[in-house]
């Protein structure tokens, strides 16, 4: 039996991961859960799974949970960033699924790697902010980073049994989001309600907004650079509105291998948790024939976040951490109705302009760059 801990258990990925656990039955035991602020759902999960440790974001929610569990439950209840770390480093856990959203996932992921855990990685910000350091740490500790994002899982699956030195390039597919056909005038009028409706995927709010701006694809470019060891010149993006092909790998002989599937996260989650085995699950299957598949080039003018991500990745050092932190703040401000949709890339660009890059930073310097970018971006949005 494999023992796992889930960071972000009440979020979109976390909930689907627990569906996968249900499907797999006795093959996987959930030993630890870390939730955010959804204490009611966390209570249901604890009563169903009886994990050793559960964490919530706020202390008051942790006390509420402990009170509502009652004395008959032995589950330890913790909170905050220390709680995330406690779940991530839980003794006896084999794999930690990091499904929290944002840079908050970096520290517990690093601690989990140091504790010798394999990482089922659904928190792309970890490699965006600190890719070189995290990859070096994983190599040193002998732990595996198992991609969960559908695009990176697709690439990983296409590379099974292949010589990675024979890869010519990888092609990340993107749905294009809900505003793929909008002109600049319409983009300036986009509301948070419109941006939170993705045409294909059921995801959390932050990643849905990022998909609308194409920043999500930009972050995936940086993540792919570190996961697969390719230069940015060998990582391309193509718009694929149907979201059936999840990504592709082109080899030096001209062959291109693609991974196809229904736009549903249960398959990549299951693959990460059961690798190297493929097991039967309940993820939906394609119905053949699947109809037309179309592709188009991304429009960097209407969606400048994609260009900003390439730029930050190529600059390197602390710049990707600044890109990510500034974007997180800008998205928060947009959802709150304080800025317009097209102000998101503007705020990110301003933060990048003002930042003095540190090449080869330490983790502490990355955390400081993240803090600085949040403070700077907040001031831009006021």
Asked, colleague to colleague, whether 2-147 and 152-380 share their fold, the answer is no
What's the pLDDT at 26?
83
What's the pLDDT at 201?
62
Taking 90 as the threshold, does the pLDDT of residue 200 lie above it? no
50 phi-psi bin (left φ>0, alpha ψ -120 to 50, beta other): left
CA nearest 198: which of 211, 181, 216, 182?
Answer: 211
What's the pLDDT at 282?
82
What's the pLDDT at 382?
75
pLDDT band at 366 (very low <50, low <70, confident <90, very high): very high
Spatial separation of the C-alpha atoms in residues 193 and 107, rounded to whole Å: 32
Mean pLDDT of 148-163: 97
Mean pLDDT value across the chain: 95
Tokens matching residue 26:
């006795």
Instruction: Write down the residue that tokens 């709010």 correspond to.
Output: 205
- For 2-147, the fitting CATH number among 3.20.20.80, 3.40.50.720, 3.40.50.620, 3.40.50.300 is 3.40.50.720
Spatial separation of the C-alpha atoms in residues 121 and 138, rounded to whole Å: 12
| Domain spans in the chain, listed from the N-terminal domain onward | 2-147, 152-380
Spatial separation of the C-alpha atoms in residues 74 and 65, rounded to whole Å: 12
Q: What class is the 152-380 domain?
A: mainly alpha
CB atoms within 10 A of CB 201: 16
Q: Mind listing the pLDDT tens digit for each residue in 53-66?
A: 999 999 999 999 99
What's the pLDDT at 135?
98
Spatial separation of the C-alpha atoms in residues 287 and 177, rounded to whole Å: 23
Element (H, E) at 12: helix 12-24
Q: Residues 10, 42: contact at Cβ < 8 Å?
A: yes
* Cis ω for the linkage preceding 276 (within 30 of 0): yes
For 18-157, strand residue ranges (E) read 28-34, 53-56, 76-79, 95-98, 118-121, 145-147
Spatial separation of the C-alpha atoms in residues 144 and 270, rounded to whole Å: 16
Taking 90 as the threshold, does the pLDDT of residue 67 lie above it? yes
Q: Mind listing the pLDDT tens digit for each residue in 290-325?
A: 999 999 999 999 999 999 999 999 999 999 999 999
Give the HSE-up count for residue 54: Cα atoms under 13 Å, Cβ half-sphere. 32
Q: Residues 205, 196: contact at Cβ < 8 Å?
A: yes
Q: Residues 355, 322: contact at Cβ < 8 Å?
A: yes
Lowest average pLDDT, out of 23-27, 161-165, 330-334, goes to 23-27
Mean pLDDT of 271-300: 92
What's the pLDDT at 203?
65
Instruction: Write down the residue that tokens 């706020």 correspond to.
Output: 58
What's the pLDDT at 71?
84
Spatial separation of the C-alpha atoms in residues 15 and 49, rounded to whole Å: 13
Tokens matching residue 64:
């509420």
- In percent, the amount of the chain with pLDDT more than 70 equals 99
Q: Encode burial over 13-35: b for 16+ CB neighbours within 10 A, e otherwise.
A: bbbbbbbbbebbeeebbbbbbbb
How many residues can be counted in the chain?
382
What's the pLDDT at 160?
95
pLDDT band at 257 (very low <50, low <70, confident <90, very high): very high
End-to-end CA distance of the chain: 51
Question: Does the CA dihedral 48-100-115-57 come out positive or negative?
Answer: negative
- In percent, the amount of the chain with pLDDT more than 90 equals 88
């Amino acid at each position: 039996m494999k023992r796992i801990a889930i960071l972000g258990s009440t979020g979109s990925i976390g909930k689907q991961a627990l569906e996968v656990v249900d499907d797999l039955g006795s093959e996987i035991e959930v030993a630890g859960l870390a939730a955010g602020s959804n204490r009611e759902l966390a209570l249901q999960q604890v009563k169903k799974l009886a994990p050793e440790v559960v964490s919530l974001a706020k202390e008051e929610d942790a006390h509420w949970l402990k009170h509502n569990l009652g004395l008959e439950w032995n589950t330890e209840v913790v909170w905050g960033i220390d709680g995330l770390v406690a779940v991530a480093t839980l003794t006896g856990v084999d794999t930690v699924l990091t499904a929290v959203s944002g840079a908050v996932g970096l520290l517990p992921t690093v601690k989990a790697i140091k504790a010798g855990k394999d990482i089922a990685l659904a928190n792309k910000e970890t490699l965006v902010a600190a890719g070189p350091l995290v990859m070096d740490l994983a190599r040193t500790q002998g732990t595996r980073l198992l991609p969960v994002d559908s695009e990176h899982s697709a690439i990983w699956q296409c590379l099974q049994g292949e010589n990675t030195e024979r890869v010519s390039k990888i092609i990340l597919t993107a749905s294009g989001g809900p505003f793929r056909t909008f002109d600049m005038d319409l983009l300036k009028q986009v509301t948070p309600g419109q941006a939170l409706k993705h045409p294909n995927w059921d995801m959390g709010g932050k990643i849905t907004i990022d998909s609308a701006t194409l920043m999500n694809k930009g972050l995936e470019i940086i993540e792919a650079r570190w996961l697969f060891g390719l230069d940015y010149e060998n990582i391309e993006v193509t718009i694929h509105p149907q979201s059936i092909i999840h990504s592709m790998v082109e080899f030096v002989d001209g062959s291109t291998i693609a991974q196809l599937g229904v736009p549903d996260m249960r398959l990549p989650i299951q693959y990460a948790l059961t690798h190297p085995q493929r097991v039967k699950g309940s993820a939906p299957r394609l119905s053949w024939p699947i109809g037309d598949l179309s592709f188009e080039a991304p429009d960097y003018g209407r969606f400048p976040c994609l260009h900003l991500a390439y730029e930050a990745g190529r600059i390197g050092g602390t710049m990707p951490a600044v890109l990510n932190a500034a974007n997180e703040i800008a998205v928060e401000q947009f959802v709150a109705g304080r800025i317009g949709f097209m102000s998101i890339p503007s705020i990110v660009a301003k933060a990048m302009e003002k930042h003095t890059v540190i090449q080869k930073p330490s983790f502490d310097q990355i955390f400081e760059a993240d803090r600085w970018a949040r403070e700077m971006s907040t001031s831009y949005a006021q």
